[in-house]
Amino acid sequence: MNLIDTHAHLYLPHFSGDVDRVIQNAADKNVIKILLPNIDLKSAGPMLELCKRYSSQCYPMLGLHPTSVRRDYRHQLSTLEKMAGDNEFVAIGETGMDAYWDTLFLSEQEASFITHLEWAIKLELPVVIHSRKTMDKILAIVKSHSGTGLRGVFHAFSGSVDQAVEIADLGFKIGIGGVVTYSNSGLGPVIREVDLKNIILETDSPYLTPVPHRGRRNESAYLTFTAEKIAGLKGLTFEEVAKVTTGNACELFNLKPE
């Protein structure tokens, strides 16, 4: 069964020596599509170039990562927005807020996030949300945009069962990656409680590598370990998880199923 990696940064220097092999590894494991979230102005060029080289496998997103938001964020957003007319993006992101690494620019992160939501609504694209230690604030902002057609995914979900249910009730998906394979992830109850129709799979490569490769560089081929873990937690087969989550991703990001 085919899988879709809905979040991977394969354009980063971590893959500069072997990105072709990494993409082939993914194909060999039936990971047929890889969605690439942008980070900042510097990463946009390499991301778009990789998507051009692998146009049937890699798909770009338009966004400014919250940890890249600084005092010049308005300039970065303005420049990125101009790219929307020249390229075809499958989503807006990655955006959101992050209070883990630095809280100096949280107000700027919030303003940037709201701008991204406005792009998503205007362009009728899903939004990919980063919400590290900011889940309650993010949820409040998303709720304030109800009735606009806003949709998307909470990437690298690490919240509670109640938050997961709330996200699903808002019509958003929950992005699950390699962290679910960690013994201390706390995601077991979330996976058991949330309907599979509300989950999509991701790697966040090169980060958050699943067991048994934890501690090494992550890559899209390792998505199979996440699918296997979810299958075990929900008492389903790997094929069932692959079929439903791939369908979820195709629906959310308007991708053609293979």
Inside any domain, residue 258: no
**CATH number of the domain enclosing 137:** 3.20.20.140
Q: What is the mean pLDDT of residues 52-67?
A: 97
Contact 4, 250 (CB under 8 A): yes
Q: Name the residue range of residue 137's domain.
A: 3-253
Helix (H) or strand (E) holding 225: helix 223-234
**Is this model's pTM higher than 0.95 or not?**
yes
| Cα–Cα–Cα angle for 228, 231, 234, rounded to 5 degrees | 150
Question: Could you give the count of Cα atoms lying within 13 Å of 142 in the half-sphere of its Cβ?
Answer: 28
Query: How far, in Å, CA of 247 to CA of 22, rounded?
Result: 23
Residue 114: CB atoms within 10 A of its CB come to: 14
Write the CB contacts of 15 (distance below 8 Å, at least 6 apart in sequence): 22, 205, 206, 219
Q: How confident is the model at residue 85 (pLDDT cuts 50, 70, 90)?
A: confident
Inside any domain, residue 178: yes
β-sheet bridge partners, residue 192: none
Inside any domain, residue 150: yes
**Could you say which DSSP state residue 216 is in?**
S
- Chain-centre distance of CA 204, in angstroms? 7
Structural domain count, the chain:
1
Inside any domain, residue 72: yes
pLDDT score of 87 more than 90: no
Inside any domain, residue 50: yes
Inside any domain, residue 7: yes
Q: How confident is the model at residue 48 (pLDDT cuts 50, 70, 90)?
A: very high
Query: What's residue 257's pLDDT?
Result: 77
Query: What's residue 90's pLDDT?
Result: 98
